[in-house]
Amino acid sequence: MRIGVVTFPGSLDDVDASRAVGLAGAEAVPLWHGDHDLRGVDAVVLPGGFSYGDYLRCGAISRFSPVMTEVVAAAGRGMPVLGICNGFQVLCESHLLPGALIRNDHQRFICRDQRLRIENNLTPWTTGYAQDVEITVVLKNGEGSYVADGRTLDRLEGEGRVVARYVGVNPNGSLRDIAGITNERGNVVGLMPHPEHAVEDLTGPGTDGLRFFTSVLAAALV
Amino acid sequence: MARVVVDVMLKPEILDPQGKAVHGALPRLGFDGITGVRQGKRFELELDGALTSARLAEIHEIAEKLLSNPVIEDFEVHVAEVEA
C-alpha cells in the first residue's frame, strides 16, 4: 500500500509521518504542495507543522494549494485522508470537516503526553483500536481548540463522528473535549494530537499511535 | 484607483484568548474601566481601475473565501478611498 504524505512550505512532521507509515508496513510517498496529482497513492496524510507560516489562519492558505484540489476530490471518492494537527486545520479550512481550530484558551503553546479515548473505531484509520480504548500519544499545539456551533457538535456526537476525545485534561479548551472527528462518510479523519510521534519506544511515550497507520493498511487489504 | 478595507472579527460567541490577554494587561498598565477587548484583522486592498459594483462583489467573495473563515468569523467591507 502506498500512502502519500504532503509537504507544504512550513510542514514540520512530514518526515515523522512518513516514518510511521513505513513502520506500519506501507510505502510512504512524498507529495509536494504544488503537485497536481497524487501519484496513484491509496491514502493521504496531511502532517503537522506551520504550513505557510500559519499566516492569515492556520491552514487557510494551504487549502488553496494545487495538491489540496486533488486531495478534496480523492476524499470525495472515498480515499482515506488523515489530517494531523496542522493537517486537521487544513481539513477544516477545506470544508472536508466541520468546525474550526482556534487559539488555545490558555494562550500558550502546549506540548505533553496526552491521554485520549478512541470513540469511533470504524474509520479506516482507527479499526485497529478497541472501541473506547484509552491511548497516550504526543500533543503539541498553539491553535488546537476545536470549536463548532452547538448544532454541529450535537450532530457529530449523535452520528458517532467524534473519533477521539481528551481524557483527564482538556489541553486547549476544545469544546466537549473533542480531539478528533470524521466526516459523514468516515474516510476523512482530523486529529489534533500526534499519533506519528508515538510509534517507537525510543522517541515517544510508547507505540499507541502506530495503529492509526496499521489500521489504514488493514482497511486497504480487506 | 480605490482602496477597500475588509475588517474581520471573530464571531461574538467565539472565545478570543488574544483579546482576553490584551484586556488582562490593561490594569497592569494603569488603564481601568475597559470592560472588554476583542482582537480582529484589517485588510487593505488596493484596486487598479474603477471601483464597479462587480469589483465590489468580487471583494465580498475574496473576504468570504479567503480573508475570513465563516465558521468562526464575520467580515465587513468598507470603501476607504476612491480616486476619480
Q: Which residues contact A76 (CB under 8 A, 6 or more apart)?
A: none
Q: What is the C-alpha separation between A18 and A95, in angstroms, rounded?
A: 25
Domain ranges, ordered by start, for chain B:
2-82
pLDDT of residue B83: 74
B72 and chain A: CB distance < 8 Å anywhere?
yes
Contacts A56 to B, Cβ<8 Å:
66-67
Arithmetic mean of pLDDT over chain A: 96
pLDDT digits (tens, 9 = 90+) for A16-40: 999 999 999 999 999 999 999 999 9
Domain ranges, ordered by start, for chain A:
2-221
Q: Which residues of A are catalytic?
A: 85, 194, 196
State whether the Cα torsion A20-A22-A26-A31 is positive or negative: positive
Shortest Cα distance, chain A CAs vs residue B84, angstroms: 32
Read off the pLDDT of each residue in A142-162 and give the average, rounded to a whole number. Answer: 97
To the nearest 10 degrees (0 to 180), the angle between helices A211-221 and A14-24 is 50
| Partner-chain residue, chosen from A56, A104, A148, that has the shortest CB–CB distance to B17 | A104
Question: Which residues, in sequence order, are bridge partners of residue B76?
Answer: B7
Class of domain B2-82: alpha beta
pLDDT digits (tens, 9 = 90+) for A178-204: 999 999 999 999 999 999 999 999 999
Beta-carbon pairs below 8 A across chains A and B:
37
Shortest Cα distance, chain A CAs vs residue B1, angstroms: 25
Interface ipTM: 0.86
pLDDT digits (tens, 9 = 90+) for B2-59: 999 999 999 999 999 999 999 999 999 999 999 999 999 999 999 998 899 999 999 9
Class of domain A2-221: alpha beta
